[in-house]
Amino acid sequence: MRIFTAALATETNTFSPICIDRRAFEDSLYAPPGQHPATPTLCTAPITVGRKVCADKGWTLIEGTATWADPAGLVNRQTFESLRDEILDQLRAAMPVDAVVLGLHGAMVADGYLDPEGDLLTKIREIIGPDILLCAELDPHSHLTAKRVAAADFFVVFKEFPHTDFVDRAEDLWRIAVDTLEGRVKPVMSVFDCRMIDIFPTSREPMRSFVDRLMAIEKVDPEVLSLSVIHGFMAGDVPEMGTKTIAVTNGHPEKGAILARELGLDLFSKRGTFMMPQIDEKTALDQALAYPEGPVVIADMWDNPGGGTAGDATVILAEMLARGVTNAAVGMIWDPIAVQICMAAGEGAEIPLRFGAKSAPGTGHPIDGLVKVVKVVPNAEMRFGDSIAPFGDAAHIRLEGIDIILSSVRVQSYDPSLFTALGIDPTEKHLLVIKSTNHFYAAFSQIASEILYCAAGTPYPNDPAKTAYRHVRRDIWPITANPHETPEGSEAA
């Protein structure tokens, strides 16, 4: 067997002022054919898993380009088209192939392309023809368009949020692909549109039990090859944004449609109950400072670079400074210029510095102060499960008893190793402020005495009932109270 694999991924917050060009992909991950590292980077797990599968089978794995940009705003048109065409040209050169197995995110939006992944998959289908297997792994915070469903044979989606299972799901993707190529199964994909916009953390109920139910069905029913939930990405203003369920069966489309619908309506019945409770910055600090033991983690959940924001909001930090908080660390604030200044000053220097809150309204005000440059690290990295997340040149500064990490590459706070990389022991701090919605949970919950979810400022459009969408349809909850009801009161098909 000859199998082609590649990855092209980012998550686009169409409300973000930070546009993505080719440099953004190169800063996060750009690996030409055969140069992908041994460890996966979230959406590139099909490549690293595919290496092992094909080596065990004695098959030929032809690697195309693998590239990932950390979430931000609109992707530059030339950047998307050049990366897409790079992969398409590699596929043409690899022909004939028996299958194409991809790593995609699924929430990319580019200038001139509301559905870049649909465009890529359609062009791949045109190259390989109707009978060659085409499948991909997706992030659940993606958009599932009719164009993508028409082009691909099946998708497998991460089940967990935080995404701790991207390697496990890549193994599922390859298992189904191998069984298909060896003639044991004929995957058929059924999709149900839940007509809802919500957030589904699997670290708490009710989504924890729902995901456990999906895995239980997969385990006991041999006709069900895979079950997935597309959570949707509420900051992506595209026509087909929203939650969908996917059932991949072994040649049973009717059964798959019934199962996807049943699961989708169950999700819809629980709408509005999945999200963790949120408090403002004043309440968060009141509660954090009242805990006798640390570290207490405050998640600045809406200034999350993983959702496409800048990660430079200072709302919580300003409140900490106003209260005279000490024995605290903030990780991270994105400010490449401030990092350059700190690196030029050198470790141990005391300098006047203005940093943060440069990207957009709703992020607070820049912080001014006499800071000590404690440590500077070129090309800093932290862990994220089996992956490595770079955050570029970074500086550890200290201002009025608070340790602050400044980064030059935007990335959310995945793991306590972001602090240790800059010489801070997070377990010795009473208070840690991080920027992430929920991906931090798996790692930080291991050291935290308490976790508080804070909604501070307005860097992210987090209320879909009020967000000024231009492309999202109106027959979707919470824009419409119950889009599954017809005007006569019966359930819509």
Does 490 score more than 70 pLDDT?
no
Give the position of tokens 């080596």.
55
pLDDT in tens, 2-29: 999 999 999 999 999 999 999 999 988 9
DSSP 242-293: S-EEEEEEES-HHHHHHHHHHHHHHHHHTTTSSSPP-B-HHHHHHHHHH-SS
Average pLDDT rounded to a whole number, residues 80-90: 98
Spell out the SS3 assignment of 61-120.
Answer: EEEEEEEECCCECCECHHHHHHHHHHHHHHHHHHCCCCEEEEEECCECCECCECCHHHHH
Partners of 228 in beta bridges: 246
Q: Report how far apart the first and last C-alpha atoms of the chain are (Å, whole number).
A: 42
Strands 224-230 and 187-193: unpaired
Strands (E), 158-243: 187-193, 224-230
489 band by pLDDT with thresholds 50, 70 and 90: very low
Strands (E), 262-413: 296-300, 328-334, 350-355, 367-384, 387-399, 402-407
- C-alpha distance from residue 111 to each of 76, 81, 114, 280 (Å): 6, 10, 8, 35
Give the position of tokens 């092992």.
52
3-class secondary structure, 416: coil
Does 42 score more than 90 pLDDT?
no
Lay out the sheet containing 187-193: strands in order across.
187-193, 244-250, 224-230
Token output for 134: 């085409």
- pLDDT for the residue 485: 85
Average pLDDT rounded to a whole number, residues 422-429: 98
Token output for 492: 């819509």
71 band by pLDDT with thresholds 50, 70 and 90: very high
pLDDT in tens, 231-262: 999 999 999 999 999 999 999 999 999 999 99
486 band by pLDDT with thresholds 50, 70 and 90: low
Work out the mean pLDDT of the chain and round it to a whole number.
Answer: 96
Does 493 score more than 70 pLDDT?
no
487 band by pLDDT with thresholds 50, 70 and 90: low
488 band by pLDDT with thresholds 50, 70 and 90: very low
This prediction has a pTM of: 0.91
- pLDDT for the residue 385: 84
Does 328 score more than 50 pLDDT?
yes
Partners of 113 in beta bridges: 110
- C-alpha distance from residue 359 to each of 8, 193, 407 (Å): 26, 35, 14
Lay out the sheet containing 367-384: strands in order across.
350-355, 367-384, 387-399, 402-407, 328-334, 431-434, 296-300, 450-454
pLDDT in tens, 133-166: 999 999 999 999 999 999 999 999 999 999 999 9
Average pLDDT rounded to a whole number, residues 196-213: 97
Does 286 score more than 50 pLDDT?
yes
108 band by pLDDT with thresholds 50, 70 and 90: very high
492 band by pLDDT with thresholds 50, 70 and 90: very low
- C-alpha distance from residue 84 to each of 154, 291, 447 (Å): 20, 51, 41
pLDDT in tens, 370-405: 999 999 999 999 999 888 899 999 999 999 999 999
Query: How far is 114 from 182, CA to CA, in rounded Å?
Result: 36
Query: How far is 370 from 216, CA to CA, in rounded Å?
Result: 57
